[in-house]
Amino acid sequence: MMLMFTYRTSIKLHDTDAAGIIFFANQFKIIHDAYELLLEKFGWSFPKMLRQTEYFLPIVHAESDYLVPLFVGDKIAITVKVASIGKTSFSFEYTLKRGQTLVGRAKTVHVMIDQKTRRKTPLPAALRRSLEKC
């Protein structure tokens, strides 16, 4: 059974556009916040990765569905689950809910690269184990 990670936040004024609803690109910002916190939970924070390893995890694909408008002050929960794990990559699926209402969905695909060569490299065993637990 897949365990999931949930990040809770609220929509800020700077997340919205002139119409008063979430600006589309900010849904990606919010799911990226959830992604960063999940990596920290795994022991793979971005500062650690950038300064103490030879690895990096760029996003090579992202998609998002906006199902219900979000407004300033809306409290949302972003649930992250591992969708797939490959040799050099993995993907996450995100659901965004306001209360019990599904307001959005997203997916990101991440590829492990060597920081110096910028070429794909196998996922480190410790990260793979963390992803497999999730």
- For residues 51, 41, 64, 110, the Cα torsion angle rounded to the nearest 10 degrees is 50
Question: What pLDDT, in 10s, does the model give residues 42-89?
Answer: 888 888 888 888 999 999 999 999 999 999 999 999 999 999 999 999
Active site residues: 17
- Whether pTM > 0.75 for this model: the answer is yes
Q: Which two tokens stand for residue 65?
A: 């569905």
Question: What pLDDT, in 10s, does the model give residues 22-43?
Answer: 999 999 999 999 999 999 998 8
Q: Where are the domains of the chain?
A: 5-133
Work out the pLDDT band at 3, boundaries 50, 70, 90.
Answer: low
pLDDT for the residue numbered 1:
38
Question: Looking at domain 5-133, which of 3.10.129.10, 2.40.50.140, 3.40.50.300, 3.40.190.10 is its CATH number?
Answer: 3.10.129.10
pLDDT for the residue numbered 121:
97
